[in-house]
Amino acid sequence: MYRDPVQSLEAPSSPSSTAAMRPLRVGMIGIGTVGAGTFRVLARNQAEIAGRAGRGIKMVVVCARSLARAMGVVGKDVALTNDPMQVATHPDVDVLVEAAGGTGPARDWVLAAIRAGKHVVTANKALLAEHGNEIFAAARQHGVAVAYEGAVAVSIPIVKALREGLTANRIEWVAGIINGTTNFILSKMRDEGVGFAEALAQAQALGYAEADPTFDIEGIDAAHKISLLAANAFGMPVRFADAQVEGITALQGLDVACAEQLGFRIKLLGVAKRRKDGDAEGVELRVQPALVPATHLLAHVNGSMNAVMVKGDASGVTMYYGAGAGSEQTASAVIADLVDVARLQGTHAAQRVPHLGFHAHAVNEGLAVLPRAAVHTRHYLRVPVHQAQQIEAVGAWLAAQQVPVLRVELACEKTASAGAGPQVLVLTDAVAQSTVDLAVHALAAHPAVAGPVAALLVEMLEG
């Protein structure tokens, strides 16, 4: 993530001087799932990590609610406290690992550490989505780094890919499955034919979903992540507050089955897409359940796994796949960030990879998030009708409303649930969301229609 120190040609560093370099001293707030995993991996792989970092990385102090439990994880050689600010401002700490989660208190700890001249590593996507612009500005002011690979897609190095591997590109879009809980639920609904409530219960029983799964199933967690990816992709501030967010709680098993009939699968996608209309430019920033072709790579990302695709003008489409959750999976990203911080010794702040991929003077503050009505994509409609013969009336009526219809067919009896009645399935060509919203609203009053119309986006994600 950051550039190694520039070495003098006249006085190259020797192996002995590298080995003698003082270890990077780490203070960590939180010793739960992420914190405990970070400590375990750091201890287990310390030789390999030091070899890559060019110096050791040593945990010196940990903050925890239960000191007894924390000692059971870190042992007696690490100082313990229950005061987060003591860790954030500790004189013997070089970098703060914030592993407690939340937003309000975590913001205060992180800003305190930055003001004290300490680097910060966090996997807290909510913190950065809501307060990232403030935190990154403070870090620039004080000349420290804020690293957060673990905040997006856990072990998948997607932030590094955007900020380093794809820097030659003008990024056109980023899209992916970035919440493991909802992907597990949707996989169960498709594979086992169960409803949303039963699939959620299975996810909770297996530990894939929290007791209160709201952030996951309502799309908020994915919106935090796609907001960070969009900022890195397009050189814009973090715009989480402007994202359009829709979860999967209203999704019916009937639509999962109908999508299969049409050759699609439903996934909860985070999408960030750059759009230009004349001289005006904006970004679609959204999280929504959407149909993807059954032959598409994302359609085969199942269970709790994550995957992100990026379209660059030079690179074409690239894809990144891996675990979407897990203690040591998150630790893998956290420690990779620590290694990058360890390599900063002697490197001026201006030489580092910027927090959001673009240096501050190049960030486009005016790049706006487009409103929902301006989103332009294909659509799926499921229209319940009184009689199967009314399929032609539905298709003709939609075409008259300027909806570009590509395909109209009846849901087969095997697909339609018992007692649901005939269902007309419609696929449209790309069209503005505003046009579809008006048509769906008016269609509900059509005499042929027997109930609420279901509408979902269709994402082709073509190269």
d(CA 455, CA 246): 12
Ordered alpha helix ranges (H), 348-448: 391-400, 433-443
Q: How far apart are CA 202 and CA 196, in angstroms?
A: 10
- Helix, strand, coil: what percent of the chain each, to 5? 40, 25, 35
> What backbone torsions phi and psi does residue 312 show, to the nearest 5 degrees?
-110, 155
Q: Locate 90 and state its tokens.
A: 């500790």
* Distance separating alpha carbons of residues 223 and 129, to the nearest angstrom: 8
Could you report how far apart the first and last alpha carbons of the chain are, in Å?
A: 27
Going by their DSSP bridges, the two strands 423-428 and 244-245 should be labelled as: unpaired
Rounded CA-CA distance 335/358 in Å is 23
| Whole-angstrom distance, CA of residue 145 vs CA of residue 133 | 13
> Which residue in the list 125, 160, 225, 273 is annotated as catalytic?
225
Strand, coil or helix: 327: helix
Task: Give the C-alpha distances (Å, rounded to integers) separating 54 from 15, 17, 343.
Answer: 9, 10, 7
Q: What is the spatial distance between Cα 181 and Cα 141, in angstroms, rounded to a whole number?
A: 37
CB atoms within 10 A of CB 314: 8
Q: Are strands 244-245 and 280-293 parallel, antiparallel or unpaired?
A: parallel
Active site residue 267: no
The whole-angstrom separation of Cα 299 and Cα 292 is: 6
Tell me how far the alpha carbon of residue 310 is from its chain's centroid.
13
For strands 95-98 and 119-122, give the pairing.
Answer: parallel
Cβ neighbours of 252 (radius 10 Å): 15
Which is nearest to 251 in space by CA: 276, 269, 263?
Answer: 269
Using alpha carbons, list the distances in angstroms from residue 116 to 36, 94, 143.
25, 10, 11
The per-residue b/e assignment along 60-69, b for 16 or more CB within 10 angstroms, e otherwise, is bbbbbeeeee
Helix (H, G, I), strand (E, B) or coil at 267: strand
Hey, which residues are catalytic here?
Answer: 225
